[in-house]
A = this chain, B = another copy of it.
């Protein structure tokens, strides 16, 4: 059983304050991850939250606008790896066999922005009993220098490439909400939620719920979107929040 779990950047950081951890939320997430049985091949991806977004926007860098300046790239990448260090530390404290995989070291985009993320190292780490922890980061981008890769984009790529059985997005909301703010139980096609999420053909990959739902609909694996309170339930095999089929 291969599971790809995304911990939203806004879940584990204080989005209103630059480079500030939400220590309590991260503790709860780490405790939930520690409860996963060792037969499961688990890959964790976390977003940049107030670490990544702050630095990226300061340098005018996005998923399409890049930088050719190594100092700027290192400021952004460094903030992301600082957050990754905190996540690893909390996981190790709970005996999760977590090791870092930095996307800037491994992935790149072609001229059209298409992401290539080799996964031989991740497969080997999983087979050897490690829990690879990736994160929103920069990646080399043909013609653009280095651009942002979001946690959501990494999750979609990994889920496909690793043929994940289950995908979970732990978010700041308890699921995809309808007009009355109730969690939508299941989404089978985008038409199910177009009235709530909008018809926008937005290509914003770091972005909102519409992009997340579209990306998850394209996957083979069943995917869940849920809040931190439901992380335990998801990791125990349940389908909390919204299930995207």
Of A5-13, A119-127, A181-189, A215-223, the one contacting chain B is A119-127
Q: Determine if A128 and B105 form an interchain contact, defined as CB atoms under 8 angstroms apart.
A: no
Q: State A142–B125 Cα separation when bound (angstroms).
A: 8
Contact A106 to B108, CB < 8 A, known contacts A92-B70, A124-B140, A140-B130: no
- List residues of chain A with CB under 8 Å of any chain B CB: 68-71, 73-74, 77, 88, 92, 96-109, 116, 118, 120-121, 123-125, 127-131, 139-146
A-B contact pairs, 26 of them (CB 8 A): A68-B97, A68-B128, A69-B97, A70-B92, A70-B98, A73-B130, A74-B88, A74-B92, A74-B99, A77-B99, A101-B104, A102-B102, A102-B105, A103-B105, A106-B118, A106-B121, A107-B121, A108-B121, A108-B123, A108-B124, A109-B124, A118-B120, A121-B140, A124-B142, A125-B140, A128-B144
The quantity of this chain's copies bound in the complex is 2
CB distance from A109 to the nearest CB of B (A): 8
